[in-house]
């Protein structure tokens, strides 16, 4: 993890801190990431491909499990303003009381923002998820 990718020197939103303080903060963030209690906002690997899945066919098996995940939106997704986020956890994708994303149309189980869905949604591959029955997933 690059120090400058999280804490940028001279950024008015971040106080000036020593290199030693940066290292301590980065170690703490890495530990929190490993424990699942932290997410790095806006830090996504560039150039990775979207998952190639036949979501229409797979819905009967996966039951849109991906639409229940909690994750941080990228900076660009927040700036576009078309995605709902959680006001109590700013910049994390919103969830309705049933645990599903508010962009999921419940009757059809289809995403209402499919063409501009979050990067994390586009890259999720349910074939790698232990909660989805194996051998029933179709790729595009």
42-87 pLDDT, tens digit each:
556 667 888 888 888 888 778 888 898 888 888 788 889 999 988 8
Other CB atoms within a 10 A radius of the CB of residue 34 amount to 9
The DSSP code for 53 is B
Average pLDDT, the chain: 78
Q: In this structure, are residues 101 and 132 in contact, taking their beta carbons and an 8 Å threshold?
A: no
Q: pTM score, two decimals?
A: 0.63
Is the confidence at residue 101, as pLDDT, over 90?
Answer: yes
Say what the pLDDT of residue 6 is: 46
Cross-strand partners of 85: 93
Q: In this structure, are residues 65 and 126 in contact, taking their beta carbons and an 8 Å threshold?
A: yes
What are the domain boundaries of the chain? 3-35, 55-128
Structure tokens at 105: 């149309």
Rounded Cα–Cα distance for residues 30 and 23 (Å): 10
The DSSP code for 93 is B
Q: What is the pLDDT of residues 3-27, one digit of tens each?
A: 444 444 455 555 688 889 888 887 8
Confidence bin at 2 (pLDDT 50/70/90): very low
Is the confidence at residue 94, as pLDDT, over 50?
Answer: yes
């Amino acid at each position: 993890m690059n120090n400058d990718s999280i804490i940028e020197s001279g950024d008015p939103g971040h106080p000036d801190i020593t290199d030693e303080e940066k290292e301590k903060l980065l170690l703490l963030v890495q530990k929190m990431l490993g424990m699942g209690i932290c997410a790095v906002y806006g830090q996504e690997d560039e150039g990775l491909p979207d998952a190639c899945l036949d979501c229409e066919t797979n819905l009967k098996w996966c039951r849109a499990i991906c639409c229940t995940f909690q994750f941080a939106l990228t900076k660009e997704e927040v700036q576009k303003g078309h995605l709902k986020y959680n006001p109590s956890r700013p910049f994390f994708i919103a969830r309705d009381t049933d645990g599903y994303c508010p962009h999921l149309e419940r009757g059809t189980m289809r995403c209402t923002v499919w063409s501009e869905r979050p990067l994390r949604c586009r890259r999720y591959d349910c074939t790698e998820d232990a909660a989805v029955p194996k051998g029933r997933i179709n790729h595009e």
